[in-house]
Copies of this chain bind each other. A is one copy, B any other.
Amino acid sequence: MPIVRDQWYVAAYADEVTRTFLARTICNEPIVFYRTQEGAPVALADRCVHRRFPLSESRLDGDKIVCGYHGFTYETDGSCSFVPGQDRIPRTARVASFPVVEQDSFIWVFIGDPALAEQREIPRAPWLNKDSGYITSCGMEPIRSRYSMLVDNLLDLSHETYLHAGYIGTPEVAQTPMTTRVDDDANIVYVSRHMDGAECPPFYARSTGIDGLIDRWQDIEYHAPCLYLLHSRVAPEGVKPNDDGTDPQGNHLEVTYAITPETDNSVFDFWAISRDFAKDDDEVTEFMRKNNHTVVMQDVDALNILEAVIDKEPEGFQELSIKIDEGGLAARKMLKRMSEAAGAA
């Protein structure tokens, strides 16, 4: 699956971008990230225009980057304001600057034609903000697999039963049918699975305090290509939200995955789990962080293995898809359409 360009991607957590350079490759583009003295995030191509030295191996002079090899000096917009040994700055002395936006605890970067950046909306994950009323545990894992395998993985939660057995998986997940809906205008795939009267996995029993069977709703909202949201509701069996939308007995987990291709064969997996219950209980926070990290690492291990398998596989291997793959196949189709429309990277 080609990488979709002309899109916003999560480049980093906001607190990763500081006055010290962060070098990160996003969609095959080596980029250096930093903040100005006033705190604005900056994203420049990480390659000096002179002899391609990485600017991330350089130093900051105020808000300017001074190349560590020969001293070419760049402003925050990528223009060059000093070259050694001569007064005239060549007209082409400029590195690419990438549109950046800080939102919902992330630094977003626009990959593709910058003229399109304004037209593309950045999907929201407001529960990640500190004043949102949610408590968030989060992390980031680099995976040595093509990004489409992470999309596959997340769109089909039936793997929870097997890969995450004992953590978030129970037999019900794989057995419950799901409904898939595609919004081709908004580039969103919806996958829903409502399990009523389900066994409560240990992970949720411990964190919600519910004793007995549960109604467990999983509503996926995949904003292709970059952001995956899982609206998860866990409530005692039979308890529905009120007609006015309030839901005092429901426990809500907003699971966020930002999916950012690093290269054609590697992806950054930004994961966050936000809850609106047991909010003052630090033990629950730590429990959720630790458990979700374990679950994420089970996925990371599986995807690293799969990429290695694909890498050595003979030409023409044919996958077999079944009903549970409906959401994943819809996502693939959407990504294919979007990448063709944008021009693939």
User: Which residues of chain A have a CB within 8 Å of any CB of chain B?
Assistant: 28, 30, 47, 49-54, 57, 66-71, 83-86, 90, 92-93, 152, 156, 158-159, 161-163, 174-177, 302, 305-306, 309-310, 312-314, 317, 319-324
In the complex, how many angstroms separate the beta carbon of A206 from the nearest chain B beta carbon? 24
In the complex, how many angstroms separate the beta carbon of A96 from the nearest chain B beta carbon? 12
Task: State in angstroms the CA–CA spacing of A159 and B176 once bound together.
Answer: 65
The answer to whether A319 and B50 touch across the interface, beta carbons within 8 angstroms, is yes
The answer to whether A69 and B320 touch across the interface, beta carbons within 8 angstroms, is no
The answer to whether B71 and A162 touch across the interface, beta carbons within 8 angstroms, is yes
The answer to whether A174 and B50 touch across the interface, beta carbons within 8 angstroms, is no
Q: Which residues of B contact A47 (CB under 8 A)?
A: 309, 313, 317
Q: Which residues of B contact A176 (CB under 8 A)?
A: 85
**Which residue of B51, B84, B309 contacts A152 across the interface (Cβ within 8 Å)?**
B51
**Which residue of B70, B152, B302 contacts A174 across the interface (Cβ within 8 Å)?**
B70
**Which residue of B49, B53, B309, B319 contacts A302 across the interface (Cβ within 8 Å)?**
B53
The answer to whether B84 and A53 touch across the interface, beta carbons within 8 angstroms, is no
In the complex, how many angstroms separate the beta carbon of A267 from the nearest chain B beta carbon? 16
21 A-B pairs in the complex with CB atoms less than 8 angstroms apart: A47-B313, A49-B320, A50-B319, A50-B320, A51-B319, A52-B306, A53-B309, A54-B309, A68-B163, A69-B163, A70-B162, A70-B163, A70-B324, A71-B161, A71-B174, A83-B322, A85-B158, A85-B176, A85-B324, A86-B323, A86-B324
In the complex, how many angstroms separate the beta carbon of A195 from the nearest chain B beta carbon? 13
The 9 closest A-B pairs by CB, nearest first: A84-B174, A85-B324, A71-B162, A49-B320, A86-B323, A84-B158, A70-B159, A85-B323, A52-B309
Task: State in angstroms the CA–CA spacing of A158 and B67 once bound together.
Answer: 12
The answer to whether A320 and B92 touch across the interface, beta carbons within 8 angstroms, is yes
Task: State in angstroms the CA–CA spacing of A313 and B312 once bound together.
Answer: 24
Q: Which residues of B contact A83 (CB under 8 A)?
A: 322
Q: Which residues of B contact A84 (CB under 8 A)?
A: 158, 161-162, 174-175, 322, 324
The answer to whether B85 and A174 touch across the interface, beta carbons within 8 angstroms, is yes
Task: State in angstroms the CA–CA spacing of A320 and B159 once bound together.
Answer: 51
The answer to whether A159 and B69 touch across the interface, beta carbons within 8 angstroms, is yes
